[in-house]
Amino acid sequence: MRGPALICALIAALLQSGGCQSTHSTDATVRAFDELVFGVSENAEGEVTAADPAIRLTRWQRPLRAHFAQPPPDPVAALGVAVLAELAAITGHDLAMAGPGSSANVALVYGDPALLVRTMRAMGARIEGYEASSAVYGFCWSTHWHAAGEIRRAVVYIADAGAMPDEKPGAIAACLRHEMGHVMGLRFHAERSYSVMAAQRSLRDYTATDRQVLRLLYDPALPANGTRDQVLNRLGDLPPDQEAAR
């Protein structure tokens, strides 16, 4: 087996479809999408995590409007605006900071664990000890609420860079882009993909892989609330992003 037949067989095996799918999307893109959206990845020993049939494609459908629970330092506020604009450009979805007097569905909390607790409670959510202790010890954190594949609201905690372990330049940018990736629907951490979604948050910018996966996640051709098999079978028919191919 060689050439196109081999490529087709590899993609068919990856998609677990039992048939030959289109080779439009690259192997690397499909693997990254599967890892970040459905939590299926391969470890260093070649073992593949089992797919959870309960996991569905989850993304925003209504406009995303964010606000800081209290005003952060100007550079952090500017970064928040920039990251929302960046995600809007990547996904084509409507994201922006909430205007004066308008309601928000994403709360951004900067550097104040007590404010995180109050914000969560104001949203009618119970905050667990893990989330509170993560904030106290300087870790970034986020959560979102969804139903029928639609993300409806979220909270992001952005640790003060001075409180972060192993503080380094760009720590807040890495934190915010990572957590907003989760908020947008990248529910899982990257184990093998070169991505800002790695658990250790060593990257401060979205990579070409991140951009391709986010673009595909918000492609209307993918079925809303779709199962893994439904989404990956359709994914093979979508054209690759040129940036990710470089």
Residue 146 has what pLDDT? 93
Residue 149: both structure tokens together: 């594949």
Average pLDDT of span 44-57:
85
pLDDT at 20 over 80: no
Mean pLDDT of 64-90: 95
Q: How far apart are CA 184 and CA 216, in angstroms?
A: 12
Give the confidence band of 112 by pLDDT, cuts at 50, 70, 90.
confident
Output 87 or 5, whichever has higher pLDDT.
87
**Would the pLDDT of 122 be above 70?**
yes
Of the given ranges (107-121, 129-143, 147-161), which has the lowest mean pLDDT?
Answer: 129-143
Sign for the CA dihedral angle at 122, 108, 172, 71 comes to: negative
- Higher pLDDT residue, 161 or 29? 29
Per-residue confidence band for 246, with pLDDT thresholds at 50, 70 and 90: very low
**Between residues 106 and 42, the one the model is more confident about:** 106
What mean pLDDT is predicted for residues 101-124? 88
SS3 call for 244: helix
pLDDT the model gives residue 111: 86
What average pLDDT score do residues 58-72 get?
96
Give the orientation angle of helix 228-235 with respect to helix 27-38, to 10 degrees: 160
Assigned token pair, 84: 């929302």
| Of residues 219 and 17, more confidently modeled | 219
Rounded Cα distance between 166 and 202, Å, is: 11
In terms of Cα–Cα distance, which of 3, 15, 6 is closest to 235?
Answer: 15
Q: Output the pLDDT for position 28.
A: 87
Residue bearing the bigger pLDDT, 34 or 17: 34
Nearest-angstrom CA–CA distance, 12 and 18? 6
pLDDT of residue 23: 36
What per-residue confidence (pLDDT) applies to 170? 83
Tally of helices (H runs) and strands (E runs) in the chain: 9, 6
Bridge partner list, 110: 158
Q: How confident is the model at residue 206 (pLDDT cuts 50, 70, 90)?
A: very high
Global pTM reads 0.82
**Comparison of pLDDT for 192 and 105, the residue scoring more:** 105
**Rounded CA separation 10/17 (Å):** 11
Q: What pLDDT shows up at residue 244?
A: 41
Mean pLDDT, residues 66-95 taken together = 96
CA distances from 21 to 12, 68, 217 (A): 6, 44, 19
Q: Is residue 67 over pLDDT 80?
A: yes
